[in-house]
Each structure stands twice: as C-alpha cells, then as structure tokens.
C-alpha cells in the first residue's frame, strides 16, 4: 500500500498544466525516486477526475475511460511508496465523492494539494478557458455554479473557499496544502519548486520548462472565438472541442496575435473580492499549510483598468478575424502541397 498519496486537485488555471507536464515528463525519474504517477498519461487522470464526479457518457470520450478511477486507485494501493494523482477537475467533486476517494486510499497518509490564485484572475482566466472549449455565454452573464452545462467551468471549481469546504474536512489540516501562484518577479520555476517541496521532491532533479504550457488569449481574440463558437455545430464532442476549437483556433492561431488582458465588471469584481476574503479566512482559521503568500489570493482594492469583452469594437474583431482567415488559408495551401492529389487515380 502507498505510504503517502498526494491529490493535486486544482484549481484550474493555476499553473496545473505546467506542473503536470513536469511530472509526466519525469515519470521514469519519479519511479527511480520511489514515486508512482499511475496511468499512461494525463488523459487518464482527466477521466478519473470526471468519473469521480459521476459524470455520464465517459465511453464517448474513449472506450477505456469508464473504470479509470478504480484502476488508478488499485495501482496506488499496490505501491509501497508515495504516489501522485493530479488533475484540476478533481476539485469539482462533491463532499461525499471526495470522502470516498480519500477513504479508498486508506491507510495511506492522503495530502490534498490545491494550487490557487486570486479569485478575479480565476474568473477571467476560467471564462476564457470555457470559451476555448466551445463556450458561448458572455462574461457578463457568468452567474451561478456552471456555464453552459459544463461542470468544470464555474464557481464550483473556481471558488477556493467552496473547494476547501468540500475537500479539506477529510484529511487533517497539516495535510492540506495551499499553493498560491508566485507573483511577478518570482523565478520562472518557483511554482514547480513550491509544488515539489510539498511532494518531498528535490526540484533540481527534474527539468522544469520556463514557458507556461497554456498561454492566455487577449480580450479581442477570446471575444472573437466566443462569437465563432455558435457556428461550430459539428464540433460538440469533447475531442473536437479540444483538438479544433482550443487546439487549432485558440492555441494554434489566435494566441499568436498580440492582445490585452481582459477585465470584469464592477459587480463581478466585488463578488470575487468577497469570495477571496472568505477563502483566506477559512485558510487562516483552520491552519492549512500555505506555501507562498496567502494574501496574494485576495483581490486588490485598486485594480488596473482592463478592457471588458462586451466593449471590444467591431473594428478590432474584424482585424483579428481577417488575420485568422489569412493564416487558415495558408494552412490549407500547406496541407494541399504536402498531400497532392493522385492524378493517376481512375486511369
């Protein structure tokens, strides 16, 4: 049985892709150091996170997706050293679902690891990720727990206080670790160093990339994508959204365009400030282990002026769209040149 299990449960948009890329690239090195990262890749931990929440139709993602959580838990329970399970969607699990996972890993010492950021940044980055995954609702309409029926995009996964209330009650406070994202001026690999320290790893034994793995889109580009999404009716499956909307349009093309960071409205800023203060209060009262500056999780009283998606001009959208069309046409020409038609067919 595992001696320790580190459940890195999110939050989304807190450098999770970066940290996970370091872990998966170092899977063999981790094994040499006695650590188990179960499964063959990141997507199995995604399937497990969705299965933990009892999400339906997992077989539509992949025939092997159902049963993934049980397979990973079984592998962890057979391991004699520390183990790591990591996916940001795990934080969306309900209280009893979280309890069930923790209890299934007994008698290992289970640690809950939560990477976090200020709530306003969580809202704007989370909404942008929702759009990159095919979402169509404007930022101004972001209300309640969910957006567009996709449970991973909404306050259920974005609100640190709510995640702590559902997850942290199942392990002792000294085994709940909150890692605020390092601020500007910190070393580029500080987030990895903080995370590795919680896991008991020597961060210098593993290669950590300098660049973020999931770069952000500018406000014009994300609003353009939101307006395009309703027309992509043939791209509703998860694999299509990930490959073509997020992968090809957003991260393959739109991210290359220069852009400004987006901002929220005054009411949303006030709501985010309230949620952040509540989360910091919970952390302080219950004595959870913080690696970094807990005060950085609050929304500052003075915020920089940033453009709201609703105020993006048609001219700016047109410029972004025409650039995108030109780049896509270049892609079509390149593909055609690499795959010329067989002129002898039918002869």
Q: What is the pLDDT of residues 86-104, one digit of tens each?
A: 999 999 999 999 999 999 9
Chain position carrying tokens 């370091």: 22
Q: Rounded to whole angstroms, how far apart are CA atoms 46 and 57?
A: 14
Contact 173, 286 (CB under 8 A): yes
150, pLDDT greater than 60: no
Quick: pLDDT tens for 107-140: 999 999 999 999 999 999 999 999 999 999 999 9
Contact 47, 62 (CB under 8 A): yes
In a domain, 94, yes or no: yes
Model pLDDT, residue 216:
85
Listed in sequence order, the DSSP H helices in 175-245 are: 190-199, 219-228, 238-240
Model pLDDT, residue 1:
78
343, pLDDT greater than 90: no
C-alpha separations of 242 from 135, 182, 233 in Å? 12, 28, 14
Quick: pLDDT tens for 190-209: 999 999 999 999 999 998 87
In a domain, 36, yes or no: yes
Closest CA to 206 of 8, 44, 25, 47: 25
**Beta-ladder partners of 289:** 177
Model pLDDT, residue 248:
96
In a domain, 131, yes or no: no
Phi/psi zone of residue 208: left (φ > 0), alpha (ψ -120 to 50 degrees), beta? beta
347, pLDDT greater than 50: no
143, pLDDT greater than 70: no
Print the domain residue range for 204. 4-120+154-211+266-297
In a domain, 314, yes or no: no
Angle made by CA atoms 291, 295, 296, in degrees to the nearest 5: 80
What φ, ψ does residue 307 adopt, rounded to 5°? -70, 140
Mean pLDDT of 130-157: 78
Mean pLDDT of 203-225: 85
In a domain, 310, yes or no: no
Quick: pLDDT tens for 31-41: 999 999 999 99
342, pLDDT greater than 50: yes
146, pLDDT greater than 60: no
Q: Look at the chain and report how many structural domains it folds into.
A: 1
Which pairing describes strands 4-8 and 83-86: parallel, antiparallel, or unpaired?
Answer: parallel
Residues with Cβ < 8 Å from 345, sequence gap 6 or more?
A: none
How many C-beta neighbours within 10 Å does residue 12 have?
23
In a domain, 111, yes or no: yes
Q: Rounded to whole angstroms, how far apart are CA atoms 104 and 110?
A: 10
E-assigned strand segments in 139-226: 176-180
Closest CA to 122 of 266, 273, 14, 260: 14
212, pLDDT greater than 70: no
Model pLDDT, residue 58:
87
Number of helices (H), then strands (E), in the chain: 13, 5
pTM score above 0.85: yes
Q: Rounded to whole angstroms, how far apart are CA atoms 280 and 226?
A: 33
Residue 143: both structure tokens together = 């209300």
In a domain, 321, yes or no: no
Model pLDDT, residue 328:
96
Report the chain's mean pLDDT, rounded to a whole number.
Answer: 92
Helix, strand, coil shares of the chain as percentages rounded to 5? 55, 10, 40
In a domain, 43, yes or no: yes
Model pLDDT, residue 345:
56
What φ, ψ does residue 49 adopt, rounded to 5°? -65, -40
Q: Rounded to whole angstroms, how far apart are CA atoms 48 and 58?
A: 10
Chain position carrying tokens 């290992």: 108
Q: Rounded to whole angstroms, how far apart are CA atoms 337 and 130?
A: 35
Among the ranges given (55-64, 204-213, 225-234, 244-253), the one the predictor scored with the smallest mean pLDDT: 204-213
Model pLDDT, residue 145:
52
Model pLDDT, residue 102:
98
What φ, ψ does residue 82 adopt, rounded to 5°? -75, 155
What's 79's domain CATH number? 3.40.50.300
Quick: pLDDT tens for 50-85: 999 999 888 888 899 999 999 999 999 999 999 999
Mean pLDDT of 262-281: 95
């Amino acid at each position: 049985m595992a001696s320790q299990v580190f459940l890195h449960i999110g939050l989304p948009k807190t450098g999770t892709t970066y940290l996970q890329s370091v872990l998966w690239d170092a899977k063999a090195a981790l094994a040499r150091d006695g650590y188990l990262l179960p499964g063959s890749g990141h997507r199995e931990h995604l399937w497990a996170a969705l299965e933990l929440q009892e999400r339906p139709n997992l077989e539509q993602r992949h025939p092997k997706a159902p049963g993934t959580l049980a397979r990973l838990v079984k592998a962890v329970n057979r391991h004699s050293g520390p183990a790591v399970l990591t996916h940001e969607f795990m934080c969306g699990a309900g209280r009893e679902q979280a309890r069930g996972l923790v209890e299934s890993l007994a008698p290992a010492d289970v640690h809950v690891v939560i990477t976090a950021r200020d709530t306003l940044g969580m809202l704007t980055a989370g909404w942008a990720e929702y759009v990159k995954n095919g979402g169509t609702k404007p930022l101004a309409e972001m209300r309640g727990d969910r957006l567009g029926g996709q449970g991973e995009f909404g306050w259920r996964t974005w609100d640190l206080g709510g995640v702590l209330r559902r997850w942290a009650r199942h392990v002792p406070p000294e085994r709940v670790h909150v890692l605020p994202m390092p601020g500007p001026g910190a070393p580029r690999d500080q987030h990895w160093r903080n995370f590795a320290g919680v896991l008991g790893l020597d961060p210098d034994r593993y290669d950590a990339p300098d660049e973020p793995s999931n770069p952000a889109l500018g406000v014009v580009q994300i609003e353009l994508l939101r307006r395009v999404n309703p027309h992509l009716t043939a791209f509703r499956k998860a694999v299509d959204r990930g490959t073509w909307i997020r992968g090809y349009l957003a991260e393959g093309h739109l991210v290359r365009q220069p852009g400004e960071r987006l901002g929220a409205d005054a009411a949303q800023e006030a709501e985010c400030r309230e949620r952040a203060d509540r989360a910091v209060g919970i952390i302080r009262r219950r004595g959870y282990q913080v690696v970094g500056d807990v005060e950085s999780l609050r929304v500052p009283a003075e915020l920089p002026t940033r453009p709201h998606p609703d105020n993006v001009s048609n001219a700016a959208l047109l410029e972004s769209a025409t650039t995108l069309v030109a780049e896509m046409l270049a892609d079509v020409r390149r593909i055609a040149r690499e795959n010329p038609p067989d002129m002898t067919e039918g002869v």
